[in-house]
């Protein structure tokens, strides 16, 4: 297939390596001209995953029309806050039937739309839209480390198409019709990972991180259940699988952001040092607003937002979370009487 990959950061580079390794003809769009030039000259991204050698069937362009030319499928790998504007740039050059897979994880600020909903709003035809999410660090996928993921699509044929496109002996792909659940997992787990990183930075132990992850999963599932997601999705790759990877890995930029902030840093200084976007820094705002709109309590998300964007001390968050009213473990999940 001719596949356009929109976004040439770490994940976009890893995806291009994977798809190119399967023999797909990959047109990679890079926002920065120097990245496109570097890839075409040396088959390496000069900024992200510099050690990864891209197959010759991967060609890069700073021109989004050129990257989309002849594409039979599109894979979007841009930061969530740029999905709408990037999709608007794609629209004049994209046929109305071309399937689009979004790998970005987040909820749009202001609209509370999931990424597939943003694409539907801009591109139309919800049936051709799908999302991919799972415990997939780009650094490991690009080395062929055994990994698995899930594709969630509104139409089974679209899910199967991307399943076939991505499946390799080292990258196993499952399908799931629960688009809402898979996408909410991807957005919300990044916020919990920031909290886990803060715990690491404060020197708390395994008990604390396990508590944050478990109660974070309950928080994620509480919101998903309210919005009609399948509870089993939260037990799968997009839920607990991605949560484990993002909260514990040295590769996790969200966990890294939390640790950085616990040591006195900020969102801005983290981005300046790493040249990467930690989606949890923005998802804590949009997920919190979504929960507020729906009347769903998200205490960890609330505390992460307060610390990152309102200057609240980390000590206040610890006291607030540990001092909450005693209640049943499944409170708000619809499993017991509240």
pTM of the model: 0.92
Residue 21 and residue 26: Cα distance in Å, rounded? 10
Q: Where are the beta strands (DSSP E) in 55-199?
A: 58-61, 73-76, 100-102, 129-133, 147-153, 171-176
Residue 132 and residue 102: Cα distance in Å, rounded? 6
Do the Cβ atoms of 219 and 240 come closer than 8 Å?
A: no
CATH code for the structural domain at 180-322: 1.10.1040.10
Helix axes 10-21, 156-166, angle to 10 degrees: 80
Q: Which CATH number fits domain 2-177: 3.40.190.10, 3.30.300.30, 3.40.50.970, 3.40.50.720?
A: 3.40.50.720
Per cent of the chain over pLDDT 70 is 98
The whole-number average pLDDT for the span 51-78 is: 97
In the chain, domain spans: 2-177, 180-322
Of 53-57, 74-78, 125-129, 312-316, minimum mean pLDDT range: 312-316
Confidence of residue 266 (pLDDT cuts 50, 70, 90): very high
pLDDT at 319: 85
Query: Is 22 an active-site residue?
Result: no
Q: Where are the beta strands (DSSP E) in the chain?
A: 2-6, 25-29, 58-61, 73-76, 100-102, 129-133, 147-153, 171-176
Mean pLDDT of the chain: 94
Residue 71 and residue 61: Cα distance in Å, rounded? 14
Residue 220 and residue 238: Cα distance in Å, rounded? 11
pLDDT in tens, 131-151: 999 999 999 999 999 999 999
**Angle at the Cα of 74 (from 72 to 79), degrees rounded to 5?**
175
Confidence of residue 53 (pLDDT cuts 50, 70, 90): very high
Cβ neighbour number for residue 313 with a 10 Å cutoff:
10
Confidence of residue 333 (pLDDT cuts 50, 70, 90): low
Catalytic residue, from 189, 209, 250, 292: name it: 189
pLDDT at 338 exceeding the cut of 90: no
């Amino acid at each position: 297939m001719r596949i356009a990959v929109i976004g040439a950061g770490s994940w976009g580079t890893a995806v291009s390596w994977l798809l190119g390794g399967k023999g797909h003809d990959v047109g990679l769009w890079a926002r920065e001209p120097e990245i496109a030039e570097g890839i075409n000259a040396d088959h390496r991204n000069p900024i992200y995953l510099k050690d990864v050698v891209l197959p010759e069937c991967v060609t890069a362009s700073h021109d989004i029309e050129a990257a989309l030319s002849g594409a039979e499928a599109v894979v979007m790998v841009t930061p969530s806050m740029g999905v709408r504007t990037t999709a608007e740039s794609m629209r004049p050059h994209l046929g109305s039937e071309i399937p689009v897979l979004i790998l970005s994880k987040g909820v749009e600020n202001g609209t509370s739309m999931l990424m597939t909903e943003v694409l539907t709003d801009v591109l139309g035809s919800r049936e051709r839209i799908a999302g991919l999410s799972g415990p997939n660090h780009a650094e490991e996928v690009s080395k062929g480390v055994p990994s698995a993921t899930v594709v969630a699509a509104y139409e089974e044929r679209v899910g199967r198409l991307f399943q076939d496109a991505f499946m390799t002996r080292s990258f196993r792909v499952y399908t799931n019709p629960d688009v809402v659940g898979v996408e909410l997992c991807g957005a919300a787990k990044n916020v919990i990972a920031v909290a886990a990183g803060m715990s690491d930075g404060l020197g708390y132990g395994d008990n604390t991180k396990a508590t944050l992850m478990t109660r974070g999963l309950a928080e994620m599932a509480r919101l998903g259940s309210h919005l009609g997601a399948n509870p089993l999705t939260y037990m799968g790759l997009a839920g607990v699988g991605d949560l484990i990877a993002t909260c514990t890995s040295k590769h996790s930029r969200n966990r890294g952001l939390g640790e950085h902030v616990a040591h006195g840093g900020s969102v801005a200084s983290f981005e300046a040092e790493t040249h990467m976007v930690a989606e949890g820094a923005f998802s804590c705002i949009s997920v919190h607003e979504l929960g507020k709109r729906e009347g769903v309590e998200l205490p960890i998300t609330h505390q992460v937002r307060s610390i990152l964007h309102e200057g609240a001390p980390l000590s206040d968050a610890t006291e607030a979370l540990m001092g909450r009213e005693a209640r049943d473990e499944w409170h708000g999940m619809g499993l017991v009487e509240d």
